[in-house]
């Protein structure tokens, strides 16, 4: 289907790349001739040079017969106007990137209704919420929520001294009993959807599905449970830092923000009176040490420079800060960060891309189910999707052991009336269930796609 992306910055290009992998017909609109030339050289897309908030430009891009228009420029107002005009031209669905905190409070619902927006996305707020979840559960390198947080998938990295090193999964289930499921394992660049005979090794990234309480029990049994972070140092006074600090302060945490720009410091002091805001260059190690880095439960690097975030995160990790999180947008920088043992990386562009890919894929769904959630896992080598199962789906009422699934496919969990079920062969899927599917190398648009 035709998808128009207005704005081709870092987030825009990542979305274009993700949508092309999905097989969509993508059109890019940007007002920079240089950007348009770069995009057309890199990707097999049509590109239009012009103002994405101008109806003639949108008409040239084909907004009148577009299934989806996503406006993700740096201007909230331009994004909203672009979506409004696209709908007037005939676009079926629109998504606007809206980042300003003033728009993301009480007025957001009004704006969505008046502009007929299908969805509003705030990358910085999404990143802040993900970081907040990790700080509440610091043993994990990634936390993904399903069914309104009634069920979760977490990723952990097995350390060299892990008791799971060399253990088969069926042995793990016998020794560490509980309602959890190991559903994906990444080893270097290989991702496995494992069976009971799979042998875990130190260095593996392991994906587990369970409720939060069950995951906590397992990690305590493994001696890998870290206490929730209560004092947090944030490097950089970005919008993400603002949203994160707001969440942390509401949760009763101590927050210290270090920002170089005096005006940004003043704004943060006014909007976050309970936070400690310090003007200074956080890239200077002496400042971090003077401000008590070694006494912090967590350090979060949120500057706009990937290299600075990585370097200062390494410095914090070397000073034994229990939880270190880095915001890294560029793909090559993320890979470098992992090689340097920074295993908790946040990428706002990936969060936005997952949402837009899910929305685009949901538009082509059959009537058997609806996509509720989509996450790319294990550096994009695997997917986790949550489907709401509608009456009439071919997966309803049959014991799982009687169904034949596609290779590298696993049912990670069933949520029935807010109760999470780790499925066995005797379990069945019912209408109105939410089902979490894990797959590698397989594309799911409907719950029935799991069947061979």
Region 416-423 average pLDDT: 90
Q: In what side-by-side order are the strands of the sheet with 409-416?
A: 369-377, 382-389, 434-439, 409-416, 419-421
- Architecture of the domain delimited by 128-222: 2-Layer Sandwich (3.30)
Task: Say if residue 8's pLDDT is above 70.
Answer: yes
Q: How many Å separate Cα 170 from the centre of its chain?
A: 30
| Residue 90 · residue 119 · CB < 8 Å | no
**Domain spans of the chain?**
2-121, 128-222, 231-321, 350-450
Looking at residue 258, what is its pLDDT?
97
CATH code reported for the domain at 350-450 = 3.30.70.1450
Looking at residue 357, what is its pLDDT?
87
CB atoms within 10 A of CB 64: 12
| Residue 151 · residue 415 · CB < 8 Å | yes
Looking at residue 106, what is its pLDDT?
65
**Axis-axis angle for helices 262-271, 239-250 (nearest 10):** 30
* Predicted confidence band of residue 415 (pLDDT cuts 50, 70, 90): very high
Helices (H) then strands (E): counts for the chain? 14, 22
CB atoms within 10 A of CB 230: 14
Phi then psi for residue 13, to 5 deg, are -70, -40
Region 186-192 average pLDDT: 89
Per residue in 344-374, pLDDT tens?
A: 999 888 888 888 988 888 776 555 568 888 8
CB atoms within 10 A of CB 261: 12
Region 139-162 average pLDDT: 86
* Predicted confidence band of residue 227 (pLDDT cuts 50, 70, 90): confident
CA angle at residue 382 from 377 to 386, to 5 degrees?
Answer: 75
Phi then psi for residue 243, to 5 deg, are -65, -40
Task: Say if residue 325's pLDDT is above 90.
Answer: yes
Looking at residue 183, what is its pLDDT?
93
* Predicted confidence band of residue 10 (pLDDT cuts 50, 70, 90): confident
Cα separation, 340 vs 44, in Å, equals: 34
DSSP output for 303-333: -S-HHHHHHHHHHHHHTT-SEEEEE--SHHH
CATH code reported for the domain at 231-321 = 3.40.50.720
Region 189-218 average pLDDT: 91
Nearest by Cα to 94 from 110, 113, 107? 113
Per residue in 277-308, pLDDT tens?
A: 999 998 889 999 999 999 999 999 999 999 99
58 token code pair: 């949108």
CB-based burial label for 428 (10 Å; 0-12, 13-18, 19+)? middle
| Residue 380 · residue 414 · CB < 8 Å | no
Which residue is listed with tokens 């992306």? 5
Q: Does domain 2-121 have CATH number 3.40.50.20?
A: no
Query: pLDDT: is 188 or 69 the higher one?
Result: 69
Q: Are strands 205-210 and 180-187 parallel, antiparallel or unpaired?
A: antiparallel
Q: In what side-by-side order are the strands of the sheet with 25-30?
A: 46-49, 25-30, 2-6, 68-71, 93-97, 119-121
**Axis-axis angle for helices 239-250, 123-136 (nearest 10):** 40
The reply to whether 350-450 shares the fold of 128-222 is yes
Which helix H or strand E contains 36, and what residues bound it? helix 33-42
Collapsing DSSP to helix, strand or coil, 437 comes out as strand
Beta bridge partners of 182: 208
Region 416-425 average pLDDT: 89
| Residue 448 · residue 366 · CB < 8 Å | yes
Alpha-carbon separation of residue 383 from 17, 64, 310 (angstroms) = 16, 32, 26
* Residue-averaged pLDDT of the chain: 90
What global pTM score does this model have?
0.86
Which residue is listed with tokens 């890919």? 357
Task: Say if residue 323's pLDDT is above 80.
Answer: yes
Looking at residue 369, what is its pLDDT?
62
Instruction: Report the range of poorest mean pLDDT among 2-16, 169-183, 329-343, 400-414.
Output: 329-343
Looking at residue 367, what is its pLDDT?
52
Write down the H helix ranges in 116-211. 123-136, 169-175
């Amino acid at each position: 289907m035709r998808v128009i992306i207005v704005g081709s910055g870092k987030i825009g290009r990542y979305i274009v790349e993700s949508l092309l992998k999905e097989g969509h017909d993508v059109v890019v609109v940007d007002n920079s001739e240089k950007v348009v030339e770069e995009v057309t050289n890199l990707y097999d897309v049509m590109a239009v040079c012009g103002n994405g908030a101008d109806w003639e430009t949108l008409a040239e891009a084909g907004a009148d017969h577009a299934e989806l228009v996503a406006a993700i420029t740096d201007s909230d107002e331009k994004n909203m106007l672009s979506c409004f005009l696209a709908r007037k031209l005939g676009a079926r669905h629109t998504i606007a990137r809206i980042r300003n905190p003033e728009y993301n409070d009480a007025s957001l619902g009004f704006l969505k209704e008046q502009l007929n927006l299908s969805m509003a996305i705030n990358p910085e707020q999404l990143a802040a919420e993900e970081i907040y979840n990790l700080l509440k559960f610091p043993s994990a390198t990634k936390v993904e929520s399903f069914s309104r947080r009634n069920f979760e998938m977490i990723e952990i990295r097995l350390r060299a001294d892990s008791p799971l090193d060399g253990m088969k999964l069926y042995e793990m289930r016998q020794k560490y009993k509980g309602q959890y499921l190991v559903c994906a394992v990444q080893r270097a660049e290989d991702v496995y959807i494992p069976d009971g005979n799979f042998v875990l090794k130190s260095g593996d990234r392991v994906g587990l599905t369970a409720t939060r309480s069950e995951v906590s029990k397992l990690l305590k049994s493994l001696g890998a449970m870290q206490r929730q972070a209560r004092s947090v140092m944030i490097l950089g006074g970005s919008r993400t830092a603002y949203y994160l600090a707001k969440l942390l302060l509401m949760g009763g945490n101590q927050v210290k923000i270090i920002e170089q720009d005096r005006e940004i410091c003043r704004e943060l002091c006014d909007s976050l009176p309970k936070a400690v805001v310090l003007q200074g260059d956080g890239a200077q190690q002496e400042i971090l040490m003077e401000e008590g880095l070694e006494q912090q439960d967590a350090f979060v690097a949120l500057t706009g420079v990937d290299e600075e975030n990585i370097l200062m995160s390494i410095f914090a990790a070397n000073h034994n800060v229990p939880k270190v999180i880095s915001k890294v947008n560029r793909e090559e920088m993320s890979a470098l960060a992992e090689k340097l043992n920074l295993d908790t990386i946040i990428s706002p562009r990936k969060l936005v891309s997952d949402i837009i890919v899910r929305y685009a894929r949901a538009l082509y769904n059959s009537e058997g189910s609806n996509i509720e959630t989509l996450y790319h896992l294990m550096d994009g080598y695997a997917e986790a999707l949550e489907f709401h199962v509608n009456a009439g789906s071919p997966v309803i009422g049959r014991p799982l052991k009687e169904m034949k699934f596609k290779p590298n496919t696993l049912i990670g969990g069933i949520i029935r009336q807010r109760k999470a079920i780790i499925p066995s062969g005797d379990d069945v899927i019912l209408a109105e269930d939410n089902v979490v599917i894990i797959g590698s190398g397989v594309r799911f648009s409907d719950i029935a796609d799991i069947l061979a």
